[in-house]
Chain A
Amino acid sequence: MRHDCARHRGDVRSNRLSHPFEGDCIVQIRVTVNGTTHESDVEPRTLLVHYVREQLGLTGTNVGCDTSSCGACTLHLNGEAVKSCTVLAVQADGQDVATIESLAVDGVMHPMQTAFMENHGLQCGYCTPGMVMASISLLNENPNPTEDEVRLGLEGNLCRCTGYHNIVKSVLACANAASLAGGK
């Protein structure tokens, strides 16, 4: 991580960058997002969700409540679901980020996306990227959850269409399909 700051010169830990924002600190981060490594200049206060949406143009991750309640901004940091409105971009420096855009490969949807489609797990769709990313993280930690465990595991994601029933059904269908495919 390279670092520059007009207010706090003399940082022995980092090299300085010239930057156009006089008075503001700028740090350079190196983040792997969806398999591609990006070197970017950010203000320390830049939230991870704004970084992926506005600097990288990955607008699949939504901002909902902006208060770490609704889960619309859920993405994966090192393979685990986090609320990217409550993570600084600088905290993701050197880390691996995956957004909803990483899931489909060559136009073929991820099994969780397929399960949401087949089970009508979305209505307006606004919460869906966060729901899908949280659901994948949930199954990574608990591959064969009960319905109650799915409901509890997704408590951090709100659907204001209140379409929870089919979301839970989608996650259970995905878990079931995966365990069938795994021959369990």
Chain B
Amino acid sequence: MIPASFDYKRAGSAAEAIALIGEYGDEAKFLAGGHSLLPMMKLRLAQPTVLVDIGRITDLSYIREEAGHIAIGALTRHMDVENSPVLAEHVPLLAAAASYVGDAQVRHRGTLGGSIAHADPASDLPATTLALGATYVVQGPNGTREIAAKDFYLSFLESALEPDEILTEIRVPKMNGAGWNFQKFNRRAQDWAIVGVAAWRRGSESGVGLVNMGSTPILASGVSAALAQGASVADAAKLASADAQPQADLNASVEYRTHLAEVLVRRALDASS
């Protein structure tokens, strides 16, 4: 399978990438690691006529400790997220979730920012950063703005990113010793999750993100509200699907996904407590 023909531009900086995407408009797409976009192009589900390669913008690949959060450059690869000592100390849930993405070869190429910008509800890291209360920093022709993860995912593969904006940084609050767990239920190695759960808990606070439980990554805020009011893990987990809109596919019916979500949220919270 070979993608439809396109022209290739390589950007040396975020500003240059924005200028190039502005020049070509809707027919252009950013190319980072390419592990979401290229498979879609090979299947001709996407046929951009221009690719703006941002994969060489090395100053967007970093993991830095800031006062209350960790700042991660959008082009940081999954493998670097997985193996980061800074994240292991301050945001271990994200490092662990990154280790579940695809396989080693995929993690050598795919990037955190690419996964988030692609906004696939079946991907592990959008839901994980959502659970962690991350903020995404985006840059456009008129400067930068911050978008809370909970406001970012609009519908299937649709985000609040404007076509001429580029995601540059992911800011993830430090977990400050919170308990955490990541659950990924699939039937074959390296598959997407049929349902996945990213959860953390610290005292009365918690965050629960659901993978593949709707057209966007889902924040199970009802679960966290119940826990804050003193509900048991088992009772709170019953609310796992309250904020979700699971859909049926070849792998699972709506009922099965709903059941999985409750079981996996319960397991994740038990392991986080």
Our count of residue pairs bridging A and B at CB distance below 8 angstroms stands at 98
Q: Is the interface of B mostly helix, strand, loop or mixed?
A: mixed
A-side interface residues, number (CB < 8 Å):
41
Interface string of B3-34 (1 = CB under 8 A from A): 11111111000000000000010000001001
Q: A91-B53, A155-B103, A156-B106 are in contact. Are A66 and B7 (CB under 8 A)?
A: no
Complex Cα gap A91–B3 (Å): 15
A156–B104 touching, CB < 8 Å:
yes
**Chain B contacts of A50 at CB under 8 A?**
2
B34–A67 touching, CB < 8 Å:
no
Interface string of A117-158 (1 = CB under 8 A from B): 000000000000000001001100100000000000101110
Determine whether B118 belongs to the interface, using a CB cutoff of 8 Å to chain A.
Answer: no
Q: Which A residue sits closest to B189, measured CB to CB?
A: A155
Q: A87-B34, A156-B106 are in contact. Are A47 and B2 (CB under 8 A)?
A: yes
CB distance from A165 to the nearest CB of B (A): 15
B5–A43 touching, CB < 8 Å:
yes
Determine whether A80 belongs to the interface, using a CB cutoff of 8 Å to chain B.
Answer: yes
Q: Interface on A for B, CB 8 Å cutoff? A: 1, 3, 5, 7-8, 11, 13, 24-25, 27, 43-47, 50, 66-69, 71, 74, 77, 80-83, 85-88, 90-91, 134, 137-138, 141, 153, 155-157
25 contacts between A and B (CB under 8 A): A5-B7, A7-B7, A11-B9, A13-B10, A24-B5, A45-B2, A45-B6, A46-B2, A67-B39, A68-B102, A77-B108, A81-B104, A82-B105, A82-B109, A83-B109, A86-B35, A86-B109, A87-B38, A88-B8, A134-B104, A134-B105, A153-B104, A155-B189, A156-B104, A156-B105
